[in-house]
Chain A
């Protein structure tokens, strides 16, 4: 890739044609990600996109960066290990709400705590799409499905609030159809030090046709982002779930990835010598 002419957003797309259903919100998210990379002019060989399993996790193959399509729920530790070993790379972790908040829930908590300089993008469609439409942790309690007839009756998971409570340094809610807004949030998220979490409401055209109404429900967040996690959490817990924008910009120091000067392996012998 030429380093003289600016990289275009379309250059970040690979030749692999996505298999997402036409109408899937993830197409927009893919565009937003490429536009964010282009805005930052990131060399694509210095970017790694890490995912788990699910429709949204198919993303890495559709980008011309390094990628890892790992196992279900474990994208965050994959990305964490990579970033700690290679702090020079820009690491984006991506996935859906099932992968991220069900099987991946534990890793989500600890990734927020660890505050390593990563960006985590969750394309939330409130359903398990890949496995044909089961409720996910963010699904509304009364949503009917084969595995949970009549709805789960369970309180939906609140990823943004949990991220705040666990120490994430940047929290934003986006809507896939708002390419410009999503792009802007992704740019900020990548540049913000520490763990940045962007939840993108991304409708599932096949299993949640009711989500077509999201484009009319979303609206800009009424106030500017705060740097007080408690205030941000209160706002989110009392909003209508469709406030779009950066909701929290924290000031925690990112996990220290610096390394000491490498010493000699031979020095260890002295620890054992009698």
Chain B
């Protein structure tokens, strides 16, 4: 919806940037947990496990950012004041792409798109921000996201795109109420 990459984002300091970086990971991890729960409830245990793993990775990244922030810490920005320039947090996986019969290939496609968006976010900061310290940190985060993109691409290469009819379900929907 609101996808305006031309405006500058309100990141005035390294502390701000770290807050944004941290928030990205938290939003991503919470999103993967949501997806894991959805897969668990819909009896797709392989995907539930995969999403929990992805969530675990995001959690590690989040912890790493806090560690990197050190004593200075990250800026205390209220949740709703983050301005992404996009409809939502860039690395949060796209819920619309979920399907109860989805395969690991689909999940990794979601993850790939998410990592690419995160990469694009930091890239935008690199090219638009003035503060050199902020730019340096942004470059590092961009590089990390690039690594994540490569990692997901490697994982993806191990999976075949699903055959036609992957979403076929012989059973009709069930009336619930």
Residues of A within 8 A of B (CB): 6, 8-10, 17-23, 25, 27-28, 35-36, 38-39, 53-54, 130-133, 175, 177-181, 183, 187, 203, 205-207, 212, 215, 218-220, 244
Contacts and interface: CB of A to CB of B under 8 A. Distances in A.
B176 A177 contact: no
Interface string B78-89: 111000100110
Nearest to A183: B80
B104 to A, nearest CB: 14
Nearest to B80: A39
Interface string B99-127: 11010000000000000000000000000
A35 B38 contact: no
Contacts of B42: 21-22
Given A22-B100, A27-B34, A133-B173, A175 B1 contact: yes
A178 B78 contact: no
Q: Looking at A9, A23, A35, A205, which has the most chain B CB atoms within 10 Å of its CB?
A: A23
B163 interface: no
A39 B88 contact: no
Contacts of A19: 41
Contact of A177 (B1, B79, B98, B174): B1
B95 A28 contact: yes
Question: Which 10 pairs, one residue from A and one from B, show the smallest C-beta to C-beta distance?
Answer: A22-B98, A39-B80, A178-B1, A179-B88, A17-B37, A22-B38, A17-B41, A23-B98, A178-B87, A27-B95
Interface size class of B (residues with CB under 8 A): 20 to 34
Nearest to A178: B1
Nearest to A35: B80
A22 B102 contact: yes
B177 interface: yes
A132 B174 CA distance: 7
A177 B96 contact: yes
Given A39-B78, A183-B80, A187-B80, A22 B99 contact: yes
A120 B169 CA distance: 35
A273 B88 CA distance: 68
B2 A181 contact: yes
A23 B96 contact: yes
Given A178-B1, A183-B80, A215-B1, 18 more contacts: A17-B37, A22-B95, A23-B96, A23-B97, A27-B34, A35-B80, A36-B80, A38-B79, A54-B177, A179-B88, A181-B2, A181-B87, A205-B96, A205-B99, A207-B173, A215-B96, A218-B1, A220-B2
Contacts of B177: 53-54, 130-131
A17 B40 contact: yes
Interface string B149-174: 00000000000000000000000111
B176 A8 contact: no
B48 to A, nearest CB: 10
A148 to B, nearest CB: 17
Contacts of A178: 1-2, 87
Contact of B39 (A22, A27, A205, A215): A22
23 contacts: A8-B79, A9-B79, A18-B38, A21-B100, A22-B98, A22-B99, A22-B100, A23-B95, A23-B99, A27-B95, A36-B80, A39-B80, A132-B174, A177-B1, A177-B96, A178-B1, A178-B87, A179-B88, A187-B80, A212-B96, A215-B1, A220-B1, A220-B2
Given A22-B99, A131-B177, A38 B80 contact: yes
A20 B38 CA distance: 8
B35 interface: yes
